[in-house]
Amino acid sequence: VDVLLSIGEFSKMTYLSVKALRHYHEVGLLAPTAIDPMTGYRRYASSQVQTAQAIRRFRDLDMPIDDVRQVLAATDPADRNRVIVQHLERMRQQLERTQLSVASLQALLEEEPRDRTDIELRRLPATPALVARQVVAFDACGAWLEPTLARLHTQLAIVGLTVDGPDGALYPDEFFEAGEGEVTAYVPVRAAGRATIELPATNVAVLVHDGPFNDLDQTYGALGTIVAERGIGAPGPIRERYLTPASTEVCWPITVGTNQ
């Protein structure tokens, strides 16, 4: 037996507010089974309770409405599970980042800020490298960079090139200023080959960052401040060189060379 329920009854049974139900109808996520042609009253079938509860649970986990729509539309249960698992995985990563972020923030609030003056002016020579370029959002960068560098190393092995120095990446201004930009991940190689590109030489101010990536902003702040104080800033992408998992060189473009 399938009864028709008023929006109020349906609301109590699904924990969805009346406003939310009307919204889901409007955007086509969950349409009532029947609509009274005279009064416009929405009538929901009791068989819709399960679907509505699933919607609420996904929304509680901040799954976007479009994704929820996909889950519900998937006739193939494999498709459905794929979307759900993907979202739960994103959630898990999000939780992890949040926890790291909280820990880092608490440490920051307790510590004295370090005075960083150990910068070095250096000329980065032209570097042949295997590269990968991609427009990446600021928040999505970590998740992109790691597998991409791994992939480049695999390619290197296949082509028979030899690694010549630490991995790195170039970040253009708009990556920071607009929150999205074309990032270049690279692995330097000993000899140029068909698949390689030459990164141009640049003058940079370098500051080494030791510790978790979450605190990298501190090094950017310190380095950028020193460059600005000396008035030696130059246009061009910022480069990061990943010396070890716990140590990163931040290279800020400047006008003068090492001869200063």
* Total number of residues that touch DNA (CB under 7 A): 28
Interaction of residue 98 with a copy of itself, rule CB under 8 A: yes
Query: 254 and 202 in contact (C-beta within 8 Å)?
Result: no
Work out which of 173, 198, 210, 217 binds DNA, going by CB under 7 A.
173
Whole-angstrom Cα distance, residue 251 to residue 248?
Answer: 10
From DNA, a copy of itself, none, which one binds at residue 3 (CB under 5 to 8 Å depending on kind)? a copy of itself
Q: Is residue 4 within the footprint of DNA (CB under 7 A)?
A: no
The separation between the first and the last C-alpha atoms of the chain, rounded to the nearest angstrom, is 86
Out of 31, 33, 43, 49, name the contact with a copy of itself by CB under 8 A: 49
d(CA 167, CA 131): 10
| Binding segment (CB under 8 A) for a copy of itself, from list 6-14, 35-43, 119-127, 142-150 | 6-14
Identified binder of DNA from the candidate list 13, 54, 65, 143, rule CB under 7 A = 65
84 binds a copy of itself (CB under 8 A): yes
CA dist 47 to 13, 24, 61, 80, Å? 11, 17, 23, 20
Which CB atom, from 59 or from 80, has the smaller least distance to DNA? 59
Q: Counting contacts by CB under 8 A, is residue 196 touching a copy of itself? A: no
Burial code (b: 16+ CB inside 10 Å, e: under 16) for 128-157 equals bbbbbeeebeeeebeebbeebbeebeeebe
DSSP H or E run through 199: strand 197-199
- Report how many residues bind a copy of itself under the rule CB under 8 A: 56
Q: Spell out the residues 6+ positions from residue 182 whose beta carbon is closer than 8 angstroms to its own.
A: 133, 134, 135, 136, 172, 175
Q: Which position has the token pair 């028709």?
A: 4
Interacting partner of 64 out of a copy of itself, DNA, none (Cβ under 5 to 8 A depending on kind): DNA
- Do 213 and 142 contact (CB within 8 A), yes or no? yes
Q: At residue 118, what are phi and psi to the nearest 5 degrees?
A: -85, 50
Give least dist CB 155 to a copy of itself, A: 31
Q: How far is CA 148 from CA 25, 131, 136, in A?
A: 42, 9, 12
The partner in contact with residue 82, picked from a copy of itself, DNA, none with C-beta cut-offs of 5 to 8 angstroms by kind, is: none
Q: Does 64 bind a copy of itself (CB under 8 A)?
A: no
Quick one: what does residue 221 bind among DNA, a copy of itself, none, with the CB cut-off 5 to 8 Å set by partner type?
A: a copy of itself
Strand partners of residue 199: 127
Given the rule CB under 8 A, which residues bind a copy of itself? 1, 3, 5, 8-9, 11-15, 17-20, 46, 49-50, 53, 56-58, 60-61, 81, 84, 88, 91-92, 95, 98-99, 101-102, 104-106, 108-109, 113, 138, 173, 176-179, 217-218, 220-221, 224-225, 228-229, 231, 233, 238
Given the rule CB under 7 A, which residues bind DNA? 6-9, 17-20, 22-24, 27, 36, 38-42, 59, 64-66, 173, 177-180, 235
